[in-house]
Structure 1
Amino acid sequence: MRRVIIFKVLMLASALLAADPSAAEIRIIQSPGGQVGPFLDLFEKVRESGERVVIDGPCLSACTLVLSVVPGERICVTKRAVLGFHAARSVDRRGRFYAEPEASDAVLQAYPGPVRDWISRRGGLSSRLLLLKGRDLTAIYSRCR
């Protein structure tokens, strides 16, 4: 049985985003994360669409992969934006979680340099949730207009 890397609660990716076709933007208003695969597929489509991504609330766990897929110049943040990072983990057949250090390293390397540096300055990815918000966040990503 193939192991699936999970980050938090599985959620339909389409329910995480609200699209505004007149403004050609995708707005992330709340995402606790979920399985990596659907998020990567979704963000690849967003990248190909050319739409801007507005992070307007909590974007946790697998949701933060948007930073790895969509170009940074097409991402902006509001005052409500919060990015939450933690180490990758999987679940076994008995429902027990275990660490996936190789996956955590791969995810960390996929983030843009300033995000990687911020995570590293806080001890790296672990089971503890690291929250990037406020001034630290706007030092990396521009505020939405």
Structure 2
Amino acid sequence: MKLVTGLLAAVLLVAGVARSDAVVRIADDRGGRIGTYVDKYQGLRTSGETIIIDGLCASACTIVLGAVPHDRICVTSHANLGFHAAWDVGADGRAVTNPEATQMLYSMYPSAVRRWIASRGGLTPRMIFLRGKQLQAIYKPCYLDAQASANKPDSR
């Protein structure tokens, strides 16, 4: 427990977050309805909270990239963003791409993310993933990994 408390305090300090500010961690969010996420993240926009992406953030979850200021988002080495075209359920019960919602979603993303998506063929029904060095070139690291390894006992 002491290690976890110390790690959280270090994360807050390294991320430049004042103790009175909260942190929201995204780790396993597969998305859902666009409207739900727009509402959720608009509240975070004005809250001052820092967003730590520390795992999967896919589909509508990625709206956070456009809703929350860039400088309040950081990513760990576990961060994995999944993008695809927006869709509706068609008359036959199958997924049907919604071009208007897809364009709205695409336009919400910061320009660096839009360029990355465009370089991979745009938003299509197929999921594409932004992670690793490509993601860390766009968003600042949270330093969770460096702090965690610094707190591990030396194995030599």
**Structure-1-length-normalised TM-score:** 0.82
**Higher alpha-carbon Rg:** 2
| AA at the equivalent of 2:37 | F
Identity %: 48
Measure, in 1, the Cα distance between the counterparts of 2:118 and 2:92.
32
Measure, in 1, the Cα distance between the counterparts of 2:26 and 2:57.
7
- Please, which runs of 5 or more residues in structure 1 have no aligned partner? 1-20
2:10 equivalent in structure 1: none
* Deviations 1:117-145 (CA, angstroms, capped at 9, x unpaired): 00000010001101000000001000003
After superposition, where does 1:67-82 map in structure 2 within 5 Å?
Answer: 67-82=65-80
1:107 equivalent in structure 2: 105
**Structure-2-length-normalised TM-score:** 0.76
* Structure with greater helix percent: 2
* Number of residue pairs aligned between Structure 1 and Structure 2: 125
Structure 1 residues 22 and 101: CA distance shift in structure 2, 3 A: same
* Deviations 1:39-66 (CA, angstroms, capped at 9, x unpaired): 1111111112110000000000000000
Measure, in 1, the Cα distance between the counterparts of 2:50 and 2:142.
10
Measure, in 1, the Cα distance between the counterparts of 2:100 and 2:86.
9
When the two chains are superposed, the root-mean-square deviation of aligned CA atoms in Å is 1.4
1:55 equivalent in structure 2: 53
2:9 equivalent in structure 1: none
| AA at the equivalent of 1:88 | A
Measure, in 2, the Cα distance between the counterparts of 1:50 and 1:132.
25
- Please, which runs of 5 or more residues in structure 2 have no aligned partner? 1-18, 144-156
Measure, in 1, the Cα distance between the counterparts of 2:85 and 2:27.
23
SS in structure 1 opposite 2:88? strand
After superposition, where does 1:64-143 map in structure 2 within 5 Å?
Answer: 64-92=62-90, 94-143=92-141
SS in structure 2 opposite 1:30? strand
| AA at the equivalent of 1:134 | G
Query: Post-superposition, which runs of at least 4 consecutive aligned residues in structure 1 deviate over 4 A?
Result: none
